[in-house]
Structure 1
């Protein structure tokens, strides 16, 4: 009997998860792509991969200069 109630409880958990997933608002791929392209176009000036850095000091990925004493 214990195994049966455990299985029943697991099935209830699965059903609840499926209900939550079914309630999620869905969008078509074309809508999602259009929104993504709009976002990218609006923010492309802030994208350092496209525009580059204004100076090397601003670049967090620049090679660190090492201090050497001769």
Structure 2
């Protein structure tokens, strides 16, 4: 009896996998070259406001320690 349940479960799992793969195959894809060009354009347009490129002023950095460490 357990052999029949195992095969039934594997058939259900296989059907779920087939359904998922069919769903993914039917999705409309965007060409990577277009997406990459859009990403490059966006990065170039916003590079002046990017803190990774321009840095953060020490006075406005919320993560900078307010006090210095003093060893006794």
Shared fold (TM-score greater than 0.5)? yes
Q: TM-score range by the shorter chain?
A: 0.7 to 0.9
Aligned to 1:36: 39
- Structure 1 length-normalised TM: 0.72
Query: 1-side partners of 2:60 and 2:49: how far apart?
Result: 13
More helix by share: 2
Query: 2-side partners of 1:56 and 1:2: how far apart?
Result: 65
**Structure 1 stretches lacking a partner, 5+ long:** none
Query: 1-side partners of 2:62 and 2:13: how far apart?
Result: 49
CA RMSD of aligned residues (A): 2.1
- Alignment coverage as a number of residue pairs: 67
Runs (4+) off by over 3 Å: none
Query: 2-side partners of 1:7 and 1:67: how far apart?
Result: 62
DSSP-derived class of the 2:14 partner: helix
- Structure 2 length-normalised TM: 0.71
